[in-house]
């Protein structure tokens, strides 16, 4: 799911239509308020965010997204008019993943979205042959092997992916929705018990290293930064 935040209805519809025509799910939001209402229902893969919007502008919306643990990791492409506004916004380093100058062609938009999604997917992969150690836990990603105190622990694919996600981002809290989205590919909330069940079995299998996976009440889970 991709959310297109754009108050000009024609442009918004065109963006949504274009994305759907290349096989991506997309939904339009006319304002920040609408966006945040949609985010409550579903966390998207990416947001295309216009700057000039009624009520709250795109820069402010982006700041709010980045400040909210549930949404901080969503890639955002800012859409802005060419010229001084574009330069100013780019110079702000507001935390957008990419910028696109209006008016832009729909093919350009699709290409930018795909590039950002590819980049984000690449960043979430462990480098090959990497061995990560935290306390008595060791993950050898080239061999897909996990061990605790030198003893191999056999994990299911989902458990392994959860562990890898945490290890790659020590100290970062992941919401259940975010984990569902990234690891199961679900783009809706409401099945978060699945995450809890997998975390429980993951902890059990990790034995003495199990409490490295911490519960952050009301938010989600994270890997202890250092023990």
Residues contributing to the site for Ca ion (CB under 5 A): 7, 50, 52
Q: Which is nearer to Ca ion, 33 or 158 (CB)?
A: 33
Q: Which residues of 112-140 are buried (b: 16+ CB within 10 A; e: fewer)?
A: bbeebbeebeeeeebeeeeebebebbbbb
Vertex 70 angle, CA 57 and 155, to 5°: 150
CB of 71 to Ca ion, least distance (A): 21
Return the number of the residue (78 or 183) whose C-beta is nearest Ca ion.
78
Residue written as tokens 């997204």?
65
For Ca ion, the closer CB: 7 or 98: 7
CB closer to Ca ion out of 7 and 187: 7
Decide: residue 44, CB within 10 A, 0-12 exposed, 13-18 middle, 19+ buried: buried
Q: Give me the least distance between CB of 227 and Ca ion, in Å please.
A: 48
Shortest distance (Å) from residue 28 CB to Ca ion: 12
Nearer to Ca ion (CB atom), residue 78 or residue 195: 78
In the complex, least distance from residue 24 CB atom to Ca ion, rounded to whole angstroms: 22
Angle ∠(167,180,220) on CA atoms, nearest 5: 60
Shortest separation between residue 7's beta carbon and Ca ion, angstroms: 5
Measured at the CA of 62, the angle between CA 58 and CA 18, to 5 degrees, comes to: 65
């Amino acid at each position: 799911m991709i959310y297109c935040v754009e108050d000009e209805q024609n442009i918004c519809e065109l963006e949504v239509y274009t994305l759907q025509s290349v096989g991506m799910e997309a939904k339009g939001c006319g304002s920040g308020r609408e966006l945040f209402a949609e985010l409550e229902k579903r966390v998207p893969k990416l947001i295309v965010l216009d700057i000039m919007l009624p009520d709250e502008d795109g820069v402010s919306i982006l700041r709010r997204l980045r400040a909210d643990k549930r949404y901080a990791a969503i890639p955002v492409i800012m859409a802005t008019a060419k010229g001084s506004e574009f330069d100013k916004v780019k110079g702000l380093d507001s935390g957008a993943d990419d910028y696109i100058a209006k008016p832009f062609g729909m093919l350009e938009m699709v290409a930018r979205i795909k590039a950002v999604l590819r980049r984000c997917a690449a960043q979430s992969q462990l480098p090959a042959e990497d061995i990560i150690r935290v306390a008595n836990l060791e993950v050898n990603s080239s061999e897909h092997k996990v061990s605790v105190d030198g003893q191999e622990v056999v994990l299911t694919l989902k458990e392994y992916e959860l562990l890898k996600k945490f290890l790659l981002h020590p100290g970062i809290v992941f919401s259940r929705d975010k984990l569902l989205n990234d690891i199961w590919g679900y783009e809706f909330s409401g099945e978060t018990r699945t995450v809890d069940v997998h975390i429980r079995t993951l902890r059990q299998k990790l034995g003495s290293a199990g409490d490295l996976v911490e519960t952050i009440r009301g938010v989600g889970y994270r890997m202890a930064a250092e023990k």
